[in-house]
Structures are given as C-alpha cells and as structure tokens.
Amino acid sequence: MKAAIQTAVVTGAGGFVGRHLVERLVAAGTPVIASDLRDPGIAGARFVPCNVTDLAACERLVAGAGVVFHVASMVQTRQSGAAPVWAVNHGGTRNLLTASAASGVSRLVYVSSASVVYQGTDIENGNETLPYAATTQAPYADSKIAAERDVLAAHSATGLRTCSIRPHVIYGPGDGRFLPAILRRARSGSLRYGVGRDNKLSDFTYIDNLIDALLLADQRLGEDAALGGRAWFVTNGEPIGFWEFVDRVLSAMGMPPTRGRIPYRVAYAAAAVAEGVTSLLGRDAGPENGFTRFAVRYMCTHHYFSIDRARRDLGYQPAVSIDEGIRRTIEHLRRTGGLS
C-alpha cells in the first residue's frame, strides 16, 4: 500500500518566500497548511492562523504534520527596538521546535540567513566551517544565530530531524521590498549614488533557486537522518558587486546607472544619525527604510559564500541566473503594476 503524502506546514506563508514555497508545494500535490497572522489566500492550501510567539498556537498548528518549513521571521537591522524581533525570531522558533517534537513531526526545515556568520568584515567564498558571529551586528542577525543554534541542536536532542538553509539577498517576483525599493528610489531621483568606493562582492539568491533548495533539504532529510543538524549556504553562486547588481536592474529597466559612490565613513555616519532620530521619535517598531549602519557595513564588505556543500549534500544547482532572475522580476512587476 502506498504511504499517504505527509502534510507540510509553512509558517510566514503570507511573506515573499513563504508564498512561493506554499505555491510550489501545492503544485506538487502536497497537502499544505499555510500559516501566518492573516490569511494569504493561496489557492489549494488550508489557512491556519498562528502567532509563533504563542506556544499553544504552535501546538495546534503542527498537530498531524509531517514536515514544518519555518519561514516566518521579523527583519530589523537597526539596533533599537529589538524585543519584538527576538520574540518572533528566537522565541517563535523555540516554540515551533517544542511543539513539533511533542507532536511527532518528522522534519523541520529552517530558513536562516547568511548573516549569522557576518561580523562586519569581509567574507570571501565562506563555507559552513565559519563560526557564528561573535560580535553583535543587528537584532535580526543576532536572533537568527540564536534560533539556528536551537534548530540544529534539536536534531540530536529530540526525535525531530532538523536542518537550516542560509540564503543571501533574496529577490524575485512577489518581492515587495528589495527590487521595488531600488526602482522607486531610482524613479524619484534619490538613487544617484551608491555607497562605498571599493568593489565589494555580494551573493544574491533568486527565489526559485531558494525554493528548490528548501524542497531538496526536506527530501534529503527524509532519506538520510545523518544530514540532520546541518546548515547550508544557498545562493546563485554568482558573486558580483552590490552596486553592479543595482546597475543591472536599472539597465534592464532602461534607466541610467548610478553616477558614483559615497565614501563609507560618510554614509555610516549618516546612517547612525538616522537611526538615532528614529529611536528618539519612538519609531522602533515600524518598517525600515534600508538605511542603517548594518546595511552600510553590508554593502561595503565582501560577503559571498561557497555553495559546494549544498551541491554535494542536497544535489542543489541554481537553475536561474542573476540576469534571468532580474528579467523575470521586472517582467512580473510590469505585469502586476508593481512599478507604479
């Protein structure tokens, strides 16, 4: 008799990554519970509301599931107002681990971040032997470190098979933040200059490539328990300068490239002032504008990673190039009116 297909739970289903993952699972015929604070309205998936900071809600969410894809997180790179970030990113992850282990869930795949190893200095072709950052960088990165530690430790401490995927700068159709923000600023005339005069390389991850990696991680985790407790960097494997990426986006839109670069020290000082004003005005819990000290440091250091381990362990291979990903994203924005 053929075994029943296990139900997959996806947290953060209303977000960019979560929605793409749910849609791919539904297309493959997998029973999916799409969870978030509000119903994302994804056809073919069953919505179950869940605030991951509530343990009882997490227990109800994962009951009867075979795999949990933990995507939900709160992104914040300014230093002030960190409590909600920690409550969601670390506390929520601990709740899901506890609930999953108690409910007999088989596997948990965690969407982490390459920023867990970033310490404000260059990373060139970094691999999974890099230690976690020992110095605080931002509430997002710090809380993701704590969460990933717990995820990987749970593999040996419980009967739950766990692993972690570490993408870097995700973009693609449906992204409401990264590329749309670049294009809005370019159109308003406020994106004339980049930051940093050195050509520092960065990794980027097209959304479909990330979804491929998440599904491969779940498959391989089910096939081989020895792969549990591991983390993998997952990117496009095409490191380029951050501002070169921006200029490629602008070129694809038929817009002029950035004119030059603002020195790092000037940009960093301005970001520090901006963060201070935000804190004084009591706007710590609101959305960021992308101009923080962490963001400036990130743009002014090398941070690109080897994906050899993901290739070897998971069979991961980036299927969509950076330029093709940019083309698809802009085409989607034009078709859906996301550039207006």
Q: Would you state the pLDDT for residue 1?
A: 41
Other CB atoms within 10 Å distance of the CB of residue 225 = 11
Is residue 37 within 8 Å of 49, Cβ to Cβ?
yes
Alpha-carbon distance values, 114 to 167, 180, 186 (Å): 6, 22, 27
What pTM was computed for the model?
Answer: 0.91
* Domain-embedded: residue 276: yes
Is residue 168 within 8 Å of 203, Cβ to Cβ?
yes
* Domain-embedded: residue 264: yes
CA distance 7 to 227: 21
* Domain-embedded: residue 183: yes
Q: Would you state the pLDDT for residue 20?
A: 98
* Domain-embedded: residue 61: yes
* Domain-embedded: residue 3: no
* Domain-embedded: residue 206: yes
Q: Would you state the pLDDT for residue 91?
A: 98
Q: Would you state the pLDDT for residue 136?
A: 85
pLDDT tens per residue across all 340 residues of the chain: 445 689 999 999 999 999 999 999 999 999 999 999 999 999 999 999 999 999 999 999 999 999 999 999 998 766 667 899 999 999 999 999 999 999 999 999 999 999 999 998 999 999 999 999 998 878 899 999 999 999 999 999 998 999 999 999 999 999 988 888 888 878 888 777 667 667 789 999 999 999 999 999 999 999 999 999 999 999 999 999 888 898 999 999 888 888 776 665 666 566 655 656 555 555 544 444 455 666 677 777 898 999 999 999 999 999 999 999 999 999 998 898 866 6
Containing structural domain, residue 34 = 8-336
Domain harbouring 256, CATH code:
3.40.50.720
* Domain-embedded: residue 1: no
CA distance 238 to 37: 35
For the chain, how many structural domains are there in total?
Answer: 1
Residue 264 catalytic?
Answer: no
Catalytic residue among 110, 140, 171, 206: 140
Q: Would you state the pLDDT for residue 180?
A: 82
Q: Is 183 exposed, middle or buried (0-12, 13-18, 19+ CB in 10 A)?
A: buried
CA distance 124 to 239: 10
Residue carrying the six token digits 């490629």: 248
* Domain-embedded: residue 2: no
